[in-house]
C-alpha cells in the first residue's frame, strides 16, 4: 500500500468514526481509534445491557439532537446503475435482527440477537417462539444465523447458531431443532456443535451457516478477537467448519483423522467471517470476512487451505501498526477480493434469481460501517470487481441478505429498532 493510500485510509477511518457520533468521539476518541468504532460500539451496547454508561448517554444525546426515522417512508423507489428498485419495510421494531429465512408459504423467520426468534407473516410480527435455548447475548454475541433444512416442508427442521456461555467464557455453537406445526415453539432442540475452546470477551463469534447439496453444514467461526488462534489448527476459532446435519464429521473432510487438525475444520486463517454462501449454479462456496482497519475479504474456502489471518492481511491494526509479515506468504491463500478501507461486511449472497437478470451471478454484500449494499461482478477469469454501492446511509446498518424464492432481496438492519426490508423491481 502506498504512503498516499495509507494517509487517505487513516483520514477516511477518522471521518467515519467522527460522523457516526461526534459526541461519542469527543468522549472516547482514543479508545475508538485503537479498537475500531464498530467493535467499541458493540462493547458499549454490552455495557449498556448491564446498567448503562456514558457511551449510552452520549449516543442518546446525539439521537435527541438529530432524531429522524430512517424508515419514515414504508416504500421507497431507488435508482441503481442497472435497474430501479423498490424498497419496502416488511416489519420494523425488531431488536438487532441478525438473520432471515423464508418459509415455504412465504412467511419470514427472523432471529434477534438478544435471543429471540420470531415469525413475520402478512406484516405481523409474532410473539417470540418458545424453546430457543439460552444464549450469551453480550457484545457481538447472541442469537445469530438461522437456516431451514432443505427438506423443511416435510421435516420442519432448522439450524441456527448462537454464542453460548460455559467454563472458560463463551463461544459459538450450532443447534438443530424442529419448528412445531403451530409455529409457536421449537422442539427436539439439540446442540450439535460448540467451539472446543471457550474464552473471555464478547467479540468476533462469526457466524453463519451454508447448507451443501448433500445437506451437510458449513459454518463460519470468528477468531474471538484473539488473532493467533486463527493459525492453531487444533482450535476451532478463525475457521470454516464442516459438519453433518447431526453434528457428525463428513467422510470427505480434509482432517477427518484429527491428527494434523480438528476433524471438523475445513479451512483456517479467517478473522471474522460473518457471511457464507453457496453459488447455486456453480456450487462454489464463498465467504465475506471482516478485516481489521482495511482488508475485509471475499474468499473461496477450499478443503484444507489456510487463508492467512493474522500472518498476512491487506489491512492494518486499528492503531495503524502492521499486521503479520505483509500481504503474501507461500502456503497461504490470497483473497478473491478485498476492501480498503473496510466496509464491515454483514453477509453475502450470489444472485441467481429471476427478478433482476441484470445481476445474474453477481455478489451482493451487506455492509455495517457504511450502511450500504455492495454489488460485485466476476469475469471469465475469476477476477472480482466492485461495480456499485447502493443505499448508502438510507436504512441503517445492513446485516443479513437472502435471495427470496421470487428473486427479491431480503435484508435485515442491525439496529436496536431494526427492520426487515424487501427489495424488488420497481414498476417501469
Task: Choose between 274 and 16: higher pLDDT.
Answer: 274
Tell me the mean pLDDT in the region 94-112: 98
50: pLDDT strictly greater than 60: no
Please say if the pLDDT value at position 23 is more than 50: no
Read off the DSSP letter of residue 292. Answer: B
The overall average pLDDT reported for the chain is 88
Instruction: Cell numbers for 310, please give them.
Output: 493474522
Cell numbers for 117: 426468534
Q: Which residue, 355, 375, 356, is CA-closest to 365?
A: 375
Contact indicator for 83, 425 with CB cutoff of 8 Å = yes
Region class of 308: left (phi > 0), else alpha (psi between -120 and 50), else beta: left
Q: Which helix (H) or strand (E) holds 4?
A: helix 3-20
Q: Output 5 or 124, whichever has higher pLDDT.
A: 124
Q: Which pTM value belongs to this model?
A: 0.85
Q: Per-residue confidence at 411, pLDDT binned at 50, 70, 90? A: very high
Partner residues linked to 294 by β-bridges: 292
Higher per-residue pLDDT: 139 or 30 = 139
Phi-psi region of 265 (alpha: psi -120 to 50; beta: other; left: phi over 0): beta
What is the average per-residue pLDDT within 143-162?
98
Note the pLDDT tens digit of each residue in 284-339. 999 999 999 999 999 999 999 999 999 999 999 999 999 999 999 999 999 999 99
Q: Do residues 388 and 370 touch, judged by C-beta distance below 8 A?
A: no
Each residue of 187-228: pLDDT tens digit?
A: 999 999 999 999 999 999 999 999 999 999 999 999 999 999
Burial 384-419 (b: 16+ CB within 10 A, else e): beeeebbbeebbbbbbbbbbbeebbbbbbbbbeebb
The reported pLDDT for the residue numbered 74 is: 77
Do you know the residue count of the chain? 428
- pLDDT computed for residue 127 by the predictor: 98
Residue 4 binned pLDDT confidence (cut-offs 50, 70, 90): very low
Q: Which run of H or of E encompasses 34? A: helix 22-35
> Average pLDDT of 5-12?
37
The pLDDT of residue 86 is above 90: yes
What percent of the chain lies above the pLDDT cut of 70? 83
**Quick check: 164 and 189 in contact, CB under 8 A?**
no
The radius of gyration computed from the CA coordinates of the chain, to the nearest angstrom, equals: 20
The per-residue pLDDT for 102 is 98
| 315 or 50, greater pLDDT | 315
Please tell me the distance from the alpha carbon of residue 349 to that of residue 361, in angstroms, as a whole number: 10
The CA-atom distances, in angstroms, between 85 and each of 6, 80, 126, 355 are: 36, 7, 28, 10
Q: How confident is the model over 251-284, as pLDDT tens digits?
A: 999 999 999 999 999 999 999 999 999 999 999 9
Find how far residue 120's CA is from the centre of its chain.
Answer: 21
Which tens digits make up the pLDDT trace of 338-389?
A: 999 999 999 999 999 999 999 999 999 999 999 999 999 999 999 999 999 9
Residue 279: the pLDDT is 98
Task: Count Cα neighbours of 67 within 13 Å in the Cβ-side half-sphere.
Answer: 7
Model pLDDT, residue 73: 56
User: Quick check: 109 and 119 in contact, CB under 8 A?
Assistant: yes
* Count of C-beta atoms within a 10 Å radius of residue 65: 9
Alpha helices (H) in 133-291, listed in sequence order? 152-155
Distances (CA, A) of 124 to 91, 186, 265, 420: 7, 20, 40, 12
Specify whether the backbone of 131 is left (phi greater than 0), alpha (psi in -120 to 50) or beta.
Answer: left
Count CB-CB contacts under 10 A for residue 360.
13
Q: How confident is the model at residue 56 (pLDDT cuts 50, 70, 90)?
A: very low
Query: Who's near 182: CB < 8 A, 6+ residues apart?
Result: none
At 198 the pLDDT is 98
Give the percent of the chain with pLDDT over 90: 82
CB distance 308 to 333 below 8 Å: yes
Q: Residue 369's CB: how many other CB atoms inside 10 A?
A: 22
Q: Read off the pLDDT of each residue in 8-36 and give the average, rounded to a whole number.
A: 35
pLDDT at 408 over 70: yes
3-state class (DSSP) for residue 345 = strand
Amino acid at each position: 500500500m502506498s504512503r498516499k493510500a495509507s494517509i487517505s485510509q487513516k483520514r477516511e477511518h477518522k471521518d467515519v468514526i467522527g460522523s457516526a457520533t461526534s459526541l461519542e468521539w469527543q468522549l472516547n476518541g482514543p479508545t475508538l481509534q485503537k479498537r475500531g468504532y464498530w467493535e467499541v460500539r458493540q462493547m458499549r451496547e454490552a455495557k449498556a445491557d448491564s446498567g448503562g454508561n456514558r457511551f449510552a448517554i452520549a449516543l442518546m444525546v446525539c439521537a435527541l439532537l438529530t432524531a429522524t426515522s430512517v424508515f419514515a417512508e414504508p416504500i421507497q423507489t431507488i435508482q441503481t446503475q442497472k435497474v430501479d428498485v423498490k424498497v419496502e419495510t416488511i416489519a420494523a421494531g425488531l431488536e438487532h435482527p441478525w438473520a432471515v429465512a423464508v418459509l415455504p408459504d412465504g412467511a419470514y423467520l427472523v432471529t434477534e440477537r438478544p435471543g429471540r426468534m420470531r415469525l413475520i407473516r402478512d406484516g405481523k410480527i409474532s410473539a417470540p417462539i418458545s424453546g430457543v435455548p439460552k444464549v450469551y447475548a453480550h457484545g457481538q454475541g447472541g442469537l445469530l444465523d438461522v437456516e431451514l433444512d432443505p427438506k423443511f416442508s416435510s421435516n420442519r427442521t432448522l439450524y441456527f447458531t448462537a454464542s453460548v456461555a460455559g467454563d472458560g467464557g463463551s463461544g459459538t455453537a450450532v443447534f438443530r431443532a424442529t419448528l412445531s406445526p403451530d409455529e409457536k415453539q421449537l422442539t427436539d432442540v439439540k446442540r450439535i456443535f460448540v467451539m472446543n475452546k471457550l474464552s473471555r470477551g464478547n467479540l468476533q463469534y462469526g457466524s453463519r451457516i451454508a447448507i451443501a447439496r448433500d445437506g451437510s453444514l458449513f459454518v463460519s467461526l470468528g477468531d474471538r478477537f484473539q488473532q493467533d488462534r486463527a493459525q492453531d489448527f487444533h482450535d476451532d476459532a478463525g475457521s470454516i467448519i464442516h459438519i453433518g446435519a447431526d453434528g457428525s464429521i463428513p467422510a470427505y473432510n480434509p482432517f477427518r483423522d484429527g491428527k494434523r487438525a480438528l476433524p471438523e475444520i475445513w479451512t483456517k486463517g479467517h478473522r471474522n467471517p460473518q457471511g457464507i454462501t453457496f453459488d447455486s449454479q456453480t456450487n462454489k462456496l464463498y465467504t465475506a470476512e471482516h478485516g481489521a482497519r482495511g482488508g475485509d475479504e471475499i474468499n473461496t474456502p477450499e478443503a484444507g487451505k489456510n487463508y492467512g489471518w493474522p500472518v498476512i492481511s491487506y489491512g492494518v491494526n486499528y492503531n495503524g501498526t502492521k499486521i503479520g509479515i505483509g500481504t503474501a506468504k507461500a502456503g497461504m491463500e490470497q483473497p478473491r477480493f478485498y476492501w480498503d478501507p473496510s466496509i464491515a461486511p454483514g453477509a453475502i449472497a450470489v444472485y441467481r434469481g429471476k427478478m433482476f437478470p441484470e445481476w445474474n451471478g453477481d455478489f451482493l454484500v451487506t455492509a455495517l460501517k457504511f450502511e450500504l449494499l455492495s454489488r460485485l461482478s466476476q469475469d471469465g477469469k475469476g477476477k472480482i470487481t466492485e461495480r456499485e454501492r447502493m443505499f448508502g446511509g438510507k436504512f441503517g446498518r445492513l446485516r443479513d441478505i437472502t435471495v427470496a424464492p421470487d428473486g427479491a432481496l431480503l435484508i435485515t438492519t442491525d439496529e436496536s429498532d431494526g427492520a426487515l426490508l424487501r427489495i424488488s423491481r420497481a414498476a417501469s
